[in-house]
Amino acid sequence: MFENDALESKSARTRARISAAAIESFIERGYADTTMRLIAEKAEVSVGNAYYYFPSKNHLVQDLYVRVQQEHAATAHGLLAEHRALVDRLRIVFETGLAALVPYQRSAPGFLAAMIAPDSPINPLSAESAPARDMTVGLFREAVEGAQHRLPTDVADLLPEALFVSYLGLVLRWTYDGSPDQEKTSRMLDAGLRLLAIALPFVRMPGVHSTTRELLRLVTEVRS
Amino acid sequence: MFENDALESKSARTRARISAAAIESFIERGYADTTMRLIAEKAEVSVGNAYYYFPSKNHLVQDLYVRVQQEHAATAHGLLAEHRALVDRLRIVFETGLAALVPYQRSAPGFLAAMIAPDSPINPLSAESAPARDMTVGLFREAVEGAQHRLPTDVADLLPEALFVSYLGLVLRWTYDGSPDQEKTSRMLDAGLRLLAIALPFVRMPGVHSTTRELLRLVTEVRS
Protein backbone atom coordinates (compact mmCIF):
# COMPACT_ATOMS: atom_id res chain seq x y z
CA MET A 1 0.00 0.00 0.00
CA PHE A 2 2.53 2.54 1.17
CA GLU A 3 4.81 1.66 -1.70
CA ASN A 4 1.95 2.14 -4.21
CA ASP A 5 1.12 5.54 -2.72
CA ALA A 6 4.74 6.54 -3.02
CA LEU A 7 4.83 5.42 -6.66
CA GLU A 8 1.61 7.24 -7.44
CA SER A 9 2.84 10.37 -5.79
CA LYS A 10 6.18 10.17 -7.68
CA SER A 11 4.19 9.66 -10.89
CA ALA A 12 1.94 12.63 -10.10
CA ARG A 13 5.01 14.77 -9.41
CA THR A 14 6.64 13.80 -12.72
CA ARG A 15 3.39 14.54 -14.56
CA ALA A 16 3.11 17.93 -12.84
CA ARG A 17 6.73 18.75 -13.70
CA ILE A 18 6.14 17.97 -17.40
CA SER A 19 2.94 19.99 -17.36
CA ALA A 20 4.67 22.99 -15.74
CA ALA A 21 7.57 22.79 -18.20
CA ALA A 22 5.13 22.76 -21.12
CA ILE A 23 3.24 25.81 -19.83
CA GLU A 24 6.51 27.66 -19.32
CA SER A 25 7.60 26.84 -22.86
CA PHE A 26 4.21 27.75 -24.37
CA ILE A 27 4.51 31.17 -22.70
CA GLU A 28 8.19 31.71 -23.61
CA ARG A 29 8.41 30.17 -27.09
CA GLY A 30 4.80 29.95 -28.19
CA TYR A 31 2.90 26.99 -29.57
CA ALA A 32 4.78 26.26 -32.81
CA ASP A 33 8.31 26.32 -31.34
CA THR A 34 7.46 24.17 -28.33
CA THR A 35 8.42 20.51 -28.91
CA MET A 36 8.09 17.40 -26.74
CA ARG A 37 11.91 17.21 -26.73
CA LEU A 38 12.24 20.74 -25.31
CA ILE A 39 9.56 20.06 -22.72
CA ALA A 40 11.27 16.83 -21.63
CA GLU A 41 14.61 18.64 -21.31
CA LYS A 42 13.07 21.45 -19.26
CA ALA A 43 11.28 18.93 -17.00
CA GLU A 44 14.46 16.79 -16.70
CA VAL A 45 12.80 13.60 -17.90
CA SER A 46 13.50 11.42 -20.94
CA VAL A 47 11.52 12.16 -24.11
CA GLY A 48 10.00 8.66 -23.83
CA ASN A 49 8.88 9.42 -20.29
CA ALA A 50 7.25 12.70 -21.43
CA TYR A 51 5.34 10.81 -24.15
CA TYR A 52 4.25 8.24 -21.54
CA TYR A 53 2.39 10.96 -19.63
CA PHE A 54 1.27 13.08 -22.61
CA PRO A 55 0.96 11.27 -25.97
CA SER A 56 1.40 14.52 -27.92
CA LYS A 57 2.01 18.24 -27.59
CA ASN A 58 -1.69 18.78 -28.10
CA HIS A 59 -2.43 16.72 -24.98
CA LEU A 60 -0.33 19.27 -23.12
CA VAL A 61 -2.38 22.06 -24.67
CA GLN A 62 -5.54 20.36 -23.36
CA ASP A 63 -3.85 20.08 -19.96
CA LEU A 64 -3.15 23.83 -20.18
CA TYR A 65 -6.78 24.56 -21.13
CA VAL A 66 -8.00 22.65 -18.06
CA ARG A 67 -5.55 24.42 -15.75
CA VAL A 68 -6.61 27.84 -17.08
CA GLN A 69 -10.26 26.90 -16.59
CA GLN A 70 -9.57 25.66 -13.04
CA GLU A 71 -8.10 29.04 -12.22
CA HIS A 72 -10.98 30.78 -14.03
CA ALA A 73 -13.54 28.81 -11.99
CA ALA A 74 -11.74 29.37 -8.68
CA THR A 75 -11.65 33.16 -9.17
CA ALA A 76 -15.20 33.33 -10.52
CA HIS A 77 -16.75 31.25 -7.72
CA GLY A 78 -15.70 33.63 -4.97
CA LEU A 79 -17.12 36.64 -6.82
CA LEU A 80 -20.34 34.95 -7.98
CA ALA A 81 -21.27 34.34 -4.33
CA GLU A 82 -21.56 38.11 -3.86
CA HIS A 83 -23.82 39.05 -6.81
CA ARG A 84 -27.35 38.21 -7.87
CA ALA A 85 -28.09 40.34 -10.98
CA LEU A 86 -27.64 38.32 -14.19
CA VAL A 87 -25.52 40.86 -16.04
CA ASP A 88 -23.23 41.34 -13.01
CA ARG A 89 -22.74 37.57 -12.83
CA LEU A 90 -22.00 37.31 -16.57
CA ARG A 91 -19.51 40.16 -16.23
CA ILE A 92 -17.72 38.17 -13.51
CA VAL A 93 -17.41 35.06 -15.68
CA PHE A 94 -16.20 37.02 -18.74
CA GLU A 95 -13.74 39.18 -16.79
CA THR A 96 -12.22 36.40 -14.68
CA GLY A 97 -11.90 34.34 -17.86
CA LEU A 98 -9.85 37.05 -19.55
CA ALA A 99 -7.80 37.55 -16.35
CA ALA A 100 -6.84 33.85 -16.32
CA LEU A 101 -5.54 34.23 -19.89
CA VAL A 102 -3.25 37.21 -19.21
CA PRO A 103 0.02 35.17 -19.07
CA TYR A 104 -0.76 33.82 -22.55
CA GLN A 105 -1.53 37.12 -24.33
CA ARG A 106 1.81 37.32 -26.13
CA SER A 107 1.66 33.72 -27.37
CA ALA A 108 -2.07 33.86 -28.18
CA PRO A 109 -1.71 34.60 -31.94
CA GLY A 110 0.36 31.42 -32.46
CA PHE A 111 -2.15 29.33 -30.53
CA LEU A 112 -4.97 30.92 -32.50
CA ALA A 113 -3.43 29.88 -35.83
CA ALA A 114 -3.03 26.30 -34.55
CA MET A 115 -6.52 26.01 -33.05
CA ILE A 116 -8.73 27.83 -35.58
CA ALA A 117 -9.13 25.04 -38.17
CA PRO A 118 -12.49 23.37 -37.46
CA ASP A 119 -10.81 19.93 -37.35
CA SER A 120 -7.93 20.95 -35.06
CA PRO A 121 -7.77 18.78 -31.91
CA ILE A 122 -7.04 21.93 -29.90
CA ASN A 123 -10.00 23.85 -31.36
CA PRO A 124 -12.07 24.92 -28.33
CA LEU A 125 -15.14 23.41 -30.04
CA SER A 126 -13.50 19.99 -30.69
CA ALA A 127 -14.39 16.73 -28.93
CA GLU A 128 -10.87 16.71 -27.44
CA SER A 129 -11.49 20.11 -25.80
CA ALA A 130 -14.68 18.90 -24.04
CA PRO A 131 -13.15 18.76 -20.51
CA ALA A 132 -12.06 22.42 -20.51
CA ARG A 133 -15.11 23.59 -22.48
CA ASP A 134 -17.53 21.85 -20.11
CA MET A 135 -15.94 23.73 -17.22
CA THR A 136 -16.47 27.11 -18.93
CA VAL A 137 -20.02 26.29 -20.02
CA GLY A 138 -20.63 25.10 -16.44
CA LEU A 139 -19.46 28.46 -15.09
CA PHE A 140 -21.86 30.31 -17.39
CA ARG A 141 -24.62 27.89 -16.32
CA GLU A 142 -23.88 28.63 -12.68
CA ALA A 143 -23.96 32.37 -13.45
CA VAL A 144 -27.37 32.08 -15.15
CA GLU A 145 -29.00 29.61 -12.76
CA GLY A 146 -27.96 31.46 -9.61
CA ALA A 147 -29.16 34.82 -10.98
CA GLN A 148 -32.27 36.87 -10.36
CA HIS A 149 -33.77 37.24 -13.84
CA ARG A 150 -37.12 36.93 -15.58
CA LEU A 151 -35.96 35.23 -18.76
CA PRO A 152 -38.16 32.55 -20.35
CA THR A 153 -36.94 29.08 -19.30
CA ASP A 154 -36.06 27.97 -22.85
CA VAL A 155 -33.89 31.05 -23.38
CA ALA A 156 -32.17 30.61 -19.99
CA ASP A 157 -31.45 26.95 -20.87
CA LEU A 158 -29.76 27.87 -24.16
CA LEU A 159 -27.84 30.79 -22.70
CA PRO A 160 -24.78 29.01 -21.16
CA GLU A 161 -23.70 27.33 -24.43
CA ALA A 162 -24.39 30.52 -26.43
CA LEU A 163 -22.44 32.59 -23.89
CA PHE A 164 -19.52 30.19 -24.29
CA VAL A 165 -19.48 30.89 -28.04
CA SER A 166 -19.64 34.65 -27.39
CA TYR A 167 -16.78 34.20 -24.89
CA LEU A 168 -14.70 32.63 -27.69
CA GLY A 169 -15.50 35.68 -29.81
CA LEU A 170 -14.32 37.94 -27.00
CA VAL A 171 -11.09 35.95 -26.62
CA LEU A 172 -10.55 36.22 -30.38
CA ARG A 173 -10.89 40.01 -30.15
CA TRP A 174 -8.55 39.97 -27.09
CA THR A 175 -5.92 38.06 -29.10
CA TYR A 176 -5.87 41.01 -31.53
CA ASP A 177 -5.81 43.62 -28.76
CA GLY A 178 -2.53 45.55 -28.66
CA SER A 179 -3.81 48.26 -26.28
CA PRO A 180 -2.25 48.48 -22.77
CA ASP A 181 -3.72 45.76 -20.51
CA GLN A 182 -6.07 44.94 -23.42
CA GLU A 183 -8.31 47.74 -22.21
CA LYS A 184 -10.11 47.96 -25.56
CA THR A 185 -11.42 44.44 -25.06
CA SER A 186 -12.52 45.32 -21.49
CA ARG A 187 -14.34 48.41 -22.72
CA MET A 188 -16.02 46.47 -25.52
CA LEU A 189 -17.19 43.86 -23.00
CA ASP A 190 -18.48 46.63 -20.75
CA ALA A 191 -20.45 48.35 -23.54
CA GLY A 192 -21.84 44.99 -24.70
CA LEU A 193 -23.01 44.08 -21.20
CA ARG A 194 -24.67 47.48 -20.76
CA LEU A 195 -26.65 46.97 -23.97
CA LEU A 196 -27.50 43.44 -22.86
CA ALA A 197 -28.87 44.80 -19.57
CA ILE A 198 -31.11 47.17 -21.56
CA ALA A 199 -32.23 44.41 -23.95
CA LEU A 200 -32.95 41.59 -21.46
CA PRO A 201 -36.43 42.74 -20.31
CA PHE A 202 -37.59 42.73 -23.95
CA VAL A 203 -36.80 39.03 -24.40
CA ARG A 204 -40.16 38.14 -22.80
CA MET A 205 -42.08 39.88 -25.61
CA PRO A 206 -43.57 37.17 -27.91
CA GLY A 207 -41.82 38.14 -31.21
CA VAL A 208 -38.52 38.85 -29.49
CA HIS A 209 -38.72 35.66 -27.43
CA SER A 210 -39.07 33.26 -30.38
CA THR A 211 -36.40 34.98 -32.50
CA THR A 212 -33.98 35.16 -29.55
CA ARG A 213 -34.51 31.46 -28.86
CA GLU A 214 -33.83 30.65 -32.51
CA LEU A 215 -30.69 32.79 -32.64
CA LEU A 216 -29.35 31.23 -29.44
CA ARG A 217 -30.08 27.73 -30.69
CA LEU A 218 -28.23 28.46 -33.95
CA VAL A 219 -25.28 29.93 -32.03
CA THR A 220 -24.99 26.77 -29.91
CA GLU A 221 -25.06 24.68 -33.10
CA VAL A 222 -21.72 26.17 -34.20
CA ARG A 223 -20.26 23.14 -32.46
CA SER A 224 -22.05 20.51 -34.57
CA MET B 1 1.37 52.99 -80.19
CA PHE B 2 -0.27 49.91 -81.67
CA GLU B 3 2.70 47.82 -80.65
CA ASN B 4 2.49 49.13 -77.06
CA ASP B 5 -1.22 48.33 -76.92
CA ALA B 6 -0.52 44.82 -78.16
CA LEU B 7 2.20 44.38 -75.52
CA GLU B 8 -0.05 45.69 -72.78
CA SER B 9 -2.87 43.45 -73.85
CA LYS B 10 -0.54 40.42 -73.97
CA SER B 11 0.71 41.34 -70.51
CA ALA B 12 -2.85 41.70 -69.20
CA ARG B 13 -3.72 38.30 -70.68
CA THR B 14 -0.72 36.63 -69.03
CA ARG B 15 -1.59 38.23 -65.71
CA ALA B 16 -5.20 37.08 -66.02
CA ARG B 17 -4.07 33.54 -66.87
CA ILE B 18 -1.84 33.38 -63.77
CA SER B 19 -4.63 34.79 -61.64
CA ALA B 20 -7.15 32.23 -62.97
CA ALA B 21 -4.67 29.37 -62.45
CA ALA B 22 -4.12 30.47 -58.85
CA ILE B 23 -7.86 30.62 -58.12
CA GLU B 24 -8.33 27.17 -59.64
CA SER B 25 -5.53 25.78 -57.51
CA PHE B 26 -6.76 27.50 -54.32
CA ILE B 27 -10.16 25.84 -54.89
CA GLU B 28 -8.74 22.40 -55.80
CA ARG B 29 -5.74 22.08 -53.49
CA GLY B 30 -6.37 24.73 -50.87
CA TYR B 31 -4.08 27.47 -49.62
CA ALA B 32 -1.20 25.48 -48.10
CA ASP B 33 -0.65 23.10 -51.04
CA THR B 34 -0.77 25.82 -53.70
CA THR B 35 2.73 26.94 -54.73
CA MET B 36 3.98 29.53 -57.22
CA ARG B 37 5.56 26.63 -59.18
CA LEU B 38 2.20 24.84 -59.51
CA ILE B 39 0.44 28.04 -60.49
CA ALA B 40 3.07 28.80 -63.15
CA GLU B 41 2.75 25.26 -64.56
CA LYS B 42 -1.05 25.50 -64.70
CA ALA B 43 -0.86 28.95 -66.37
CA GLU B 44 1.86 27.70 -68.78
CA VAL B 45 4.31 30.44 -67.88
CA SER B 46 7.79 30.25 -66.34
CA VAL B 47 8.06 30.49 -62.55
CA GLY B 48 10.08 33.68 -63.02
CA ASN B 49 7.32 35.15 -65.15
CA ALA B 50 4.71 34.30 -62.50
CA TYR B 51 6.82 36.06 -59.86
CA TYR B 52 7.12 39.07 -62.17
CA TYR B 53 3.35 39.57 -62.06
CA PHE B 54 2.76 38.43 -58.47
CA PRO B 55 5.73 38.73 -56.06
CA SER B 56 4.31 36.02 -53.75
CA LYS B 57 1.47 33.57 -53.26
CA ASN B 58 -0.11 36.04 -50.85
CA HIS B 59 -0.30 38.63 -53.64
CA LEU B 60 -2.44 36.11 -55.50
CA VAL B 61 -4.61 35.74 -52.41
CA GLN B 62 -5.12 39.52 -52.41
CA ASP B 63 -5.95 39.32 -56.11
CA LEU B 64 -8.53 36.63 -55.22
CA TYR B 65 -9.99 38.80 -52.43
CA VAL B 66 -10.47 41.68 -54.89
CA ARG B 67 -12.10 39.42 -57.49
CA VAL B 68 -14.50 37.98 -54.91
CA GLN B 69 -15.38 41.50 -53.78
CA GLN B 70 -15.91 42.65 -57.38
CA GLU B 71 -18.42 39.85 -57.82
CA HIS B 72 -19.95 40.64 -54.41
CA ALA B 73 -20.39 44.31 -55.37
CA ALA B 74 -21.80 43.51 -58.83
CA THR B 75 -24.50 41.21 -57.41
CA ALA B 76 -25.28 43.50 -54.48
CA HIS B 77 -25.64 46.67 -56.60
CA GLY B 78 -28.48 45.29 -58.70
CA LEU B 79 -30.44 44.22 -55.63
CA LEU B 80 -29.75 47.35 -53.56
CA ALA B 81 -31.42 49.44 -56.25
CA GLU B 82 -34.72 47.71 -55.43
CA HIS B 83 -34.84 48.12 -51.63
CA ARG B 84 -34.99 51.06 -49.24
CA ALA B 85 -35.40 49.56 -45.72
CA LEU B 86 -32.05 49.43 -43.87
CA VAL B 87 -32.31 45.83 -42.69
CA ASP B 88 -33.33 44.64 -46.19
CA ARG B 89 -30.30 46.41 -47.64
CA LEU B 90 -27.96 44.92 -45.02
CA ARG B 91 -29.42 41.47 -45.73
CA ILE B 92 -28.54 41.95 -49.41
CA VAL B 93 -24.91 42.82 -48.65
CA PHE B 94 -24.48 39.92 -46.19
CA GLU B 95 -26.21 37.34 -48.41
CA THR B 96 -24.52 38.29 -51.69
CA GLY B 97 -21.19 38.29 -49.79
CA LEU B 98 -21.72 34.69 -48.68
CA ALA B 99 -22.91 33.73 -52.17
CA ALA B 100 -19.68 35.04 -53.73
CA LEU B 101 -17.71 32.79 -51.33
CA VAL B 102 -19.51 29.54 -52.19
CA PRO B 103 -16.78 28.16 -54.49
CA TYR B 104 -14.29 28.54 -51.63
CA GLN B 105 -16.27 26.81 -48.85
CA ARG B 106 -14.27 23.57 -48.96
CA SER B 107 -10.91 25.34 -48.92
CA ALA B 108 -12.00 27.97 -46.35
CA PRO B 109 -10.59 26.21 -43.23
CA GLY B 110 -7.07 26.19 -44.73
CA PHE B 111 -7.33 29.87 -45.67
CA LEU B 112 -8.66 30.64 -42.20
CA ALA B 113 -5.61 29.07 -40.52
CA ALA B 114 -3.29 31.10 -42.79
CA MET B 115 -5.12 34.42 -42.37
CA ILE B 116 -6.10 34.42 -38.68
CA ALA B 117 -2.79 35.54 -37.14
CA PRO B 118 -3.08 39.30 -36.53
CA ASP B 119 0.20 39.92 -38.43
CA SER B 120 -0.68 37.75 -41.45
CA PRO B 121 -0.49 39.74 -44.73
CA ILE B 122 -3.68 37.97 -45.85
CA ASN B 123 -5.56 38.81 -42.64
CA PRO B 124 -8.69 40.70 -43.79
CA LEU B 125 -7.80 43.46 -41.29
CA SER B 126 -4.20 43.89 -42.55
CA ALA B 127 -2.84 46.88 -44.46
CA GLU B 128 -2.25 44.55 -47.43
CA SER B 129 -5.96 43.64 -47.52
CA ALA B 130 -7.08 47.28 -47.73
CA PRO B 131 -8.15 47.17 -51.41
CA ALA B 132 -10.61 44.28 -50.92
CA ARG B 133 -11.67 45.48 -47.47
CA ASP B 134 -12.41 49.00 -48.70
CA MET B 135 -14.72 47.52 -51.33
CA THR B 136 -16.72 45.57 -48.71
CA VAL B 137 -16.87 48.51 -46.29
CA GLY B 138 -17.95 50.65 -49.25
CA LEU B 139 -20.81 48.26 -50.00
CA PHE B 140 -22.01 48.46 -46.39
CA ARG B 141 -21.69 52.27 -46.58
CA GLU B 142 -23.80 52.29 -49.74
CA ALA B 143 -26.37 50.06 -48.00
CA VAL B 144 -26.57 52.41 -44.98
CA GLU B 145 -26.45 55.74 -46.86
CA GLY B 146 -29.08 54.77 -49.41
CA ALA B 147 -31.47 53.48 -46.75
CA GLN B 148 -34.54 54.95 -45.12
CA HIS B 149 -33.67 54.94 -41.43
CA ARG B 150 -33.82 57.25 -38.41
CA LEU B 151 -30.47 56.36 -36.88
CA PRO B 152 -28.42 59.13 -35.23
CA THR B 153 -25.76 60.39 -37.67
CA ASP B 154 -22.79 59.32 -35.52
CA VAL B 155 -24.14 55.76 -35.31
CA ALA B 156 -24.83 55.63 -39.05
CA ASP B 157 -21.26 56.84 -39.71
CA LEU B 158 -19.71 54.07 -37.61
CA LEU B 159 -22.01 51.37 -38.93
CA PRO B 160 -20.24 50.39 -42.21
CA GLU B 161 -16.88 49.56 -40.54
CA ALA B 162 -18.65 47.76 -37.66
CA LEU B 163 -20.80 45.81 -40.14
CA PHE B 164 -17.62 44.74 -41.94
CA VAL B 165 -16.28 43.25 -38.67
CA SER B 166 -19.61 41.49 -38.06
CA TYR B 167 -19.43 40.20 -41.65
CA LEU B 168 -16.01 38.66 -40.84
CA GLY B 169 -17.65 36.99 -37.84
CA LEU B 170 -20.38 35.62 -40.09
CA VAL B 171 -17.80 34.30 -42.57
CA LEU B 172 -15.93 32.66 -39.66
CA ARG B 173 -19.14 30.88 -38.62
CA TRP B 174 -19.76 29.94 -42.30
CA THR B 175 -16.28 28.38 -42.49
CA TYR B 176 -17.36 26.01 -39.70
CA ASP B 177 -20.75 25.29 -41.27
CA GLY B 178 -21.07 21.68 -42.42
CA SER B 179 -24.86 21.87 -42.98
CA PRO B 180 -26.19 21.52 -46.57
CA ASP B 181 -25.75 24.81 -48.46
CA GLN B 182 -24.54 26.30 -45.15
CA GLU B 183 -28.19 26.82 -44.24
CA LYS B 184 -27.35 27.15 -40.52
CA THR B 185 -25.35 30.29 -41.29
CA SER B 186 -28.22 31.65 -43.41
CA ARG B 187 -30.71 31.03 -40.63
CA MET B 188 -28.42 32.62 -38.05
CA LEU B 189 -28.08 35.71 -40.26
CA ASP B 190 -31.85 35.81 -40.69
CA ALA B 191 -32.55 35.61 -36.94
CA GLY B 192 -29.86 38.22 -36.24
CA LEU B 193 -31.34 40.64 -38.80
CA ARG B 194 -34.85 40.19 -37.38
CA LEU B 195 -33.59 41.09 -33.90
CA LEU B 196 -31.69 44.04 -35.39
CA ALA B 197 -34.91 45.30 -37.01
CA ILE B 198 -36.61 45.17 -33.60
CA ALA B 199 -33.68 46.88 -31.85
CA LEU B 200 -32.99 49.71 -34.35
CA PRO B 201 -35.76 52.13 -33.24
CA PHE B 202 -34.39 52.03 -29.67
CA VAL B 203 -30.97 53.34 -30.75
CA ARG B 204 -32.34 56.90 -30.61
CA MET B 205 -33.02 56.64 -26.85
CA PRO B 206 -30.31 58.66 -25.03
CA GLY B 207 -28.79 55.81 -22.91
CA VAL B 208 -28.94 53.32 -25.76
CA HIS B 209 -27.55 55.83 -28.25
CA SER B 210 -24.33 56.61 -26.34
CA THR B 211 -23.64 52.96 -25.45
CA THR B 212 -24.31 51.80 -29.02
CA ARG B 213 -21.97 54.48 -30.36
CA GLU B 214 -19.27 53.36 -27.93
CA LEU B 215 -19.69 49.67 -28.78
CA LEU B 216 -19.57 50.39 -32.53
CA ARG B 217 -16.48 52.56 -32.10
CA LEU B 218 -14.73 49.78 -30.16
CA VAL B 219 -15.72 47.20 -32.79
CA THR B 220 -14.22 49.33 -35.56
CA GLU B 221 -11.01 49.63 -33.49
CA VAL B 222 -10.36 45.89 -33.85
CA ARG B 223 -8.33 46.93 -36.86
CA SER B 224 -5.89 49.18 -34.96
Report yes or no: B183 at the A interface, CB cutoff 8 Å.
no
Residues of B in contact with A116 (CB under 8 A): 112-113, 116
Assembly ipTM: 0.92
B180 touches chain A (CB under 8 A): no
**Cβ neighbours around A167 below 10 Å, total:** 21
A126 near A133, Cβ under 8 Å? no
Buried/exposed A177-212: b ≥16 CB within 10 Å, e otherwise: beeeebebbbbbbbbbbbbebbbbeebeeeebbebb
A67–chain B nearest CA distance, Å? 24
Domains for chain B: give ranges and CATH numbers: 1-55 (1.10.10.60), 58-223 (1.10.357.10)
The whole-number pLDDT of residue A8 equals 78
* Chain B neighbors of A113, CB-CB under 8 A: 113-114, 116-117
User: Residue B106 — pLDDT band, cuts 50, 70, 90?
Assistant: very high
Question: What b/e readout covers B145-159, taking b as 16+ CB neighbours within 10 angstroms?
Answer: eebebebeeebbebb
Is A212 in CB contact (< 8 Å) with chain B? yes
Average pLDDT over residues B152-164: 97
pLDDT at A1 over 60: no
Determine, for residues A188 and B118 on separate chains, whether the beta-carbon distance falls below 8 Å. no
Average pLDDT for A44-58: 97
Which tens digits make up the pLDDT trace of A150-180? Answer: 999 999 999 999 999 999 999 999 999 999 9
State the pLDDT at residue B7.
75
Q: Which residues in chain B are closer than 8 Å to A125, comparing Cβ atoms?
A: 176
Nearest residue of chain A to residue B190 (CA atoms): A215
Q: Which residue of A has its CA nearest to B215?
A: A191
Q: Mean pLDDT throughout A52-64?
A: 97
Q: How far apart are CA B18 and CA B13, in angstroms?
A: 9
Q: In the predicted model, is pLDDT for residue A22 greater than 90?
A: yes
3-state SS class at A148:
strand
- List pLDDT tens digits, range B32-50: 999 999 999 999 999 999 9
pLDDT of residue A223: 79
- The single-letter DSSP state of residue A179 is S
* Nearest-CA distance A147 → chain B (Å): 24
Question: Band of the pLDDT at B8, cuts 50, 70, 90?
Answer: confident
Task: Determine the residue of chain A that is closest to B184 in CA distance.
Answer: A218
pLDDT digits (tens, 9 = 90+) for B12-38: 999 999 999 999 999 999 999 999 999
In one-letter notation, the amino acid at residue B60 is: L
pLDDT band at A2 (very low <50, low <70, confident <90, very high): low
Is residue A202 scored above 90 in pLDDT?
yes
A224 pLDDT above the threshold of 70: no
Pick from B122, B175, B68: which is nearest to B76 by CA?
B68
pLDDT of residue A3: 66
Long-range contacts from A199-202, C-beta under 8 angstroms, 24+ separation: A199/B199, A200/A86, A200/A87, A200/A149, A200/A151, A201/A150, A202/B198
A109:B117 CB<8 A: yes
| Whether the predicted pLDDT of A4 surpasses 80 | no
pLDDT of residue B2: 60
Per-residue pLDDT averaged across A181-209, rounded? Answer: 96
Average pLDDT, integer, range A18-29? 97
Decide if B176 and A222 are in contact by the 8 Å CB cutoff.
yes
Q: Please report residues of A whose CB lies closer than 8 A to that of B114.
A: 113
The pLDDT of residue B4:
73
B32 vs A: CB within 8 A: no
Contact (CB<8Å) A187/B214: yes
- B165-218 pLDDT, tens digit per residue, is 999 999 999 999 999 999 999 999 999 999 999 999 999 998 899 999 999 999
